Structure 1
């Protein structure tokens, strides 16, 4: 398949590249700093700032793609906006180029984060146990509110796009190796899930491309 990876220089993005190449896909990587991917057999498309990118800037990267995978996400509160603004530009570029399949990474707490498109989300995710529901997520969402709002606005745009999308919502990310033994749940977080590796998130995103039942679905995942 011809795949385009956004956020290719980040933790999940680099895993997407490595696993895509290992599976024999033809990969285009969109990155801010191409030097970070020197030596990889991928087509590099440098984009200095996805928060200000226009559809025309990104169309060459998605032209002819069988699928687009986005690992965009704010690494801190100060960077909030990169996921929502960058994804809106990606969506517009895909629509202009006729590309249909999109898989994006989000985060487990986003399902209960209010956004313009979902001003009254459920107070609690059915997959979250009492400790996550009443202790962990209230603290995490208070501390990282700009980041989760950015991802929630991104999800709004993806849902409204009309493309063949899948949103993957992992729990807390680790740098542990690929296991392939993670769990997934459609439309909710995974019961008892606390951690999952970036490598497994990338694996799940690529696996979704071969699973038509994931189209226009939110997939929770955890180890």
Structure 2
């Protein structure tokens, strides 16, 4: 398949890039700074497109990156305070570029707590996620949401953009991300978080996304993934 990976130098994006190449796919890597790709720039099957997704007019540069792709996979998300807002604005640019290019399949990474975060498109979300146990519901999630309030608000607005896009979308919501190696032993659930799912490796999130690309059952679905 021909895949476009957004934020390919990010901590999830690097796994998407590596696993896609190992699977024999042709990959277009969308990055802000191509120098950060290192050895990947020299690999066969990689086309590098430098785009600042936070810049105005990014969708114009993205058209060539998404045109002809079988799927676009986004590891885009806020990193640090300076990055808050990039998930929404970058995804908005990607959606616009995909519509113009006629590319339909979009998969994005969000986060487990986002299902209970208000957004313009969903001002009154459920107070609690049905998949959470009492400790997570009353202790862990409220604490994490206070600390990362702006980050989750950005991801919630990003989800609004995706759900309203009219594309063949899938939203993947992991809990706390770790750097553990690829295990392929993870659980998924549709429409709610996973009981006891406190963490998952970024490599396994990438694996889940890549395996969802051509699974029609994941289109139009919010999927939780956790170890």
Q: Which TM-score band (shorter chain)? A: over 0.9
Q: Let me know the Cα RMSD of the aligned residues.
A: 0.9
What residue ranges of structure 1 are gaps of 5+ in the alignment?
none
Pick aligned residue for 2:124 from 120, 126, 130: 120
Structure 1 position 37, deviation (Å): 1.1
C-alpha spacing 1:151/1:189, structure 2 compared with 1 (3 Å): same
Q: Which residue of 2 aligns with 1:4?
A: 4
Q: Which residue of 2 aligns with 1:55?
A: 59
After the TM superposition, list the runs of 4 or more consecutive aligned residues in structure 1 that deviate by more than 4 angstroms: none
Structure 1 position 191, deviation (Å): 1.1
TM superposition score normalised by structure 1: 0.98
Pick aligned residue for 1:210 from 206, 214, 218: 214
Counterpart Cα distance in 2 of 1:47 and 1:79 = 15
What SS does structure 1 have at the residue aligned with 2:12? helix
Provide the aligned length of Structure 1 versus Structure 2.
Answer: 223
Structure 1 position 76, deviation (Å): 1.9
What SS does structure 2 have at the residue aligned with 1:165? strand
1:137-156 to 2 correspondences below 5 Å: 137-156=141-160
Q: Which residue of 2 aligns with 1:166?
A: 170
Cα contact 1:186–1:218 (8 A) shared by 2? yes
Q: Which residue of 1 aligns with 2:22?
A: 22
Cα contact 2:52–2:58 (8 A) shared by 1? no
TM superposition score normalised by structure 2: 0.96
Matched, 1:43 2:32: no
Counterpart Cα distance in 1 of 2:55 and 2:122 = 22
